[in-house]
Amino acid sequence: MALSESQLKKMLAKYKYRDLAVQETVNVTGQYKDLKPVMDNYVFNDGSSRELMSLTGTIPVNYRGNIYNIPICLWLLDTYPFNPPICFVKPTSSMTIKTGKHVDANGRIYLPYLHEWKHPQSDLIGLIQVMIVVFGEEPPVFSRPTISASYPPYQATGPPNTSYMPGMPSGISPFPPGPAPNPSGYSVYPYPAPSGPFPATTSTPHYPSQPPVTTVADGRRKQKQVWICGHSYVFWAEKRALERSFGPQLGIRLEDAKLHWLGKSGMVWDQLVPILLHTRRRLTDPDILVIHLGGNDLGTASNLDVINRMKKDFGLLKQIFKNTILVWSNIIPRKVWNQEIPHKVMERSRKILNEEMGYFMQYIGGTVIQHDLLVPESPGLFHLDGVLLSQSGTDIFNLDLQSALETLI
């Protein structure tokens, strides 16, 4: 049974920033329902201990087309969220830790996201999404080949990494050396099938694999597949491109890339994943996926809720389209917002969302299109309704897309 906010406040009564820690705990346990808050003593290397809350449970990780539940334990210091959590993989008796760049022999997790932790840009939702992406590429545990004896209870030990603590001298290198990855995969200890120790979740659908793009017969590089998905800005950008000399390919040679426009007027964020999954039934998976969306969601829910949904879906897309470069196209300011909220409030929300998503994209290996020239102060760039771009504004929007794509193709 999930703990209520009032119960969490009692549990974290000694935390310095209790309300912030409680709010983040509520958010993350709402998204990842297998993670449970537990109070326990955390033992440091010097033998001292402190009563801290941990979030313990599993997170769903897509590895080679199957979903596995990876057990983790996130300890929140009493100064959270101004210091990062101390994170461990918590193997069961049938699992063995696979050490590497991101996990040491004790199960301690090391990530740039933790090393560069900065509130409020960094949060638990973002951290877990980064873990899901990283563990999907390099699983932190694997099955024991035989079970000769029960695995000893896991004890989370070790001091907080002082190199993460603001104002403290660097202590431990954030990336301990690990064995070189096995170039042939996991031939000695194969990763378990879904029926093995890591049960497959039933909440995440299976996404069928797509045929690879064929390469040009003479050995030249293959034609890249580019999807550009979004609301009315994308819809009208395609229409405008058809009227311009650069055409719907935005001046990009067809032998280099094929652009597919997926614009839908009035589109909101929750339509994104269903539209993309439907599209992959008829198109080859994209090498580059540009998403311009979210402007219609501002003001319909709290900024935090919108950002968390975006992060979660980007993490999901990273798993579905494993070889795809994800591109976030910043939400563009508007002269008029449809919601009955003061314009200054909406603009502040837009800036915060763009900043948060730009920061998050760094950690999932994506990129960002800024649209710096598209500001309401520039005359003639917006439609008379104050929401849509004018023809000139749409031309600039398309040039921003063209510039970004040329660097990626």
User: Quick one: pLDDT at residue 210?
Assistant: 40
Q: Within a domain: residue 289?
A: yes
User: Quick one: pLDDT at residue 189?
Assistant: 32
User: Quick one: pLDDT at residue 116?
Assistant: 85
Same domain, 259 and 400: yes
The domain boundary, picked from 108, 124, 143, lies at: 143
Q: Within a domain: residue 155?
A: no
Q: Within a domain: residue 127?
A: yes
What's the chain's average pLDDT? 81
Q: Within a domain: residue 163?
A: no
CA 48 to chain centre: 35
Same domain, 113 and 232: no
In angstroms, what CA-CA distances link 13 with 10, 18, 39, 41? 5, 7, 12, 15
Q: Is the peptide bond before 81 cis (omega within 30 degrees of 0)?
A: yes
User: Quick one: pLDDT at residue 190?
Assistant: 36
pLDDT over 90 (residue 214): no
| CATH number of the domain residue 139 falls in | 3.10.110.10
Residue 51 has a CB neighbour count (10 Å cut-off) of 11
Give the pLDDT band (50/70/90) at residue 376: confident
Reading the block at residue 404, the tokens are 């970004």
- Number of domains comprising the chain: 2
Compute φ and ψ for 290, nearest 5 degrees: -100, 130
pLDDT over 50 (residue 283): yes
Stretch 24-30: mean pLDDT: 92
Q: Within a domain: residue 59?
A: yes
Residues of the chain above pLDDT 90, percent: 54
Q: Within a domain: residue 158?
A: no
| CATH number of the domain residue 228 falls in | 3.40.50.1110
Q: Within a domain: residue 195?
A: no
Same domain, 126 and 259: no
pLDDT over 90 (residue 230): yes
Q: Within a domain: residue 321?
A: yes
Q: What is the pLDDT of residues 168-213, one digit of tens each?
A: 333 333 333 333 333 333 333 333 333 334 433 333 333 333 444 4
The domain boundary, picked from 143, 168, 197, lies at: 143
Same domain, 271 and 395: yes
| Nearest alpha-carbon partner for 261 in 292, 239, 229 | 229
Same domain, 239 and 94: no
CA–CA separation, 94 and 387 (whole Å): 56
The amino acid at 248: P
Element (H, E) at 12: none
Structural domain of 58: 5-143
pLDDT over 80 (residue 373): yes
Stretch 386-402: mean pLDDT: 91
Stretch 343-368: mean pLDDT: 93
The domain boundary, picked from 115, 143, 171, lies at: 143
